[in-house]
Amino acid sequence: MSGPVKDYVCLDLETSGLYPKYDKIIEIGAVKVKNGQITDRFRSLVNPGRKLTEITTAITGIHDGDLVSAPDITEILPSFLAFSEALPLLGHSILFDYSFIKKAAVNQGLSFEREGIDTLKLARKFLPDLESRALENLCIHFHIPHTAHRALGDAEATQQLYVKLCELFWNEKDFAPRQLVYKVKKEGPASGAQKERLYRLAAVHKLELDADIEKMTKNEASRTIDKILAQYGKLTEHVEKP
């Protein structure tokens, strides 16, 4: 490698929570860089099939109403994969964003194997004296314009941060892309029996579920059923049967 990576996609996501196993993507933002210059941008809200928590809305400014007409991840993911080509991924804690995309890809039977560069790891190594290496604080430190906690704004800021870190600290060992590894098993959609059971439980107990039953995976449906049974007791098993 003769210098910093100049062809890559800088990715950032907004999600409904911190755990890919349970939470969902609600916004994708990315910038494509070729020969060191931004050549394209990708931005889309994503309907997670569930209601957002107040904390998520407070952090991102995204409301349930904003996502009603947004595409499902199954609709938008192929477009993002085509946009990102086979380029390395750049991000601030890039494994977090990669893990959500990887899970969605695996569930759709799509391949998503990439190398990545993590600006958070670089900042932790080369800027140890800063009070915080959060993206927002680093942008303040380097006077980088930043629209915080929105996917495209974070991606654009991270790309500028990477350029700055390269200018100050680049060396081949620390800045080389590394294989991103996140192991995940495919989750199939909820079965017809699971959906029917959830609709019955919701009707019997007059529940308004936070998630769309039709968009649940088998594991999500199973966890939701268990949660309802735990809250309302085993009597439910008898009540719900005709």
Active-site positions read 149
Report how far residue 104's alpha carbon sits from residue 187's, in angstroms, rounded to the nearest whole number. Answer: 9
Q: Output the six-digit token pair for 103.
A: 């899970």
Comparing CA positions, the residue from 93, 106, 97 lying closest to residue 28 is 97
CB 110 within 8 A of CB 162: no
Q: Which residue has the tokens 């997670």?
A: 48
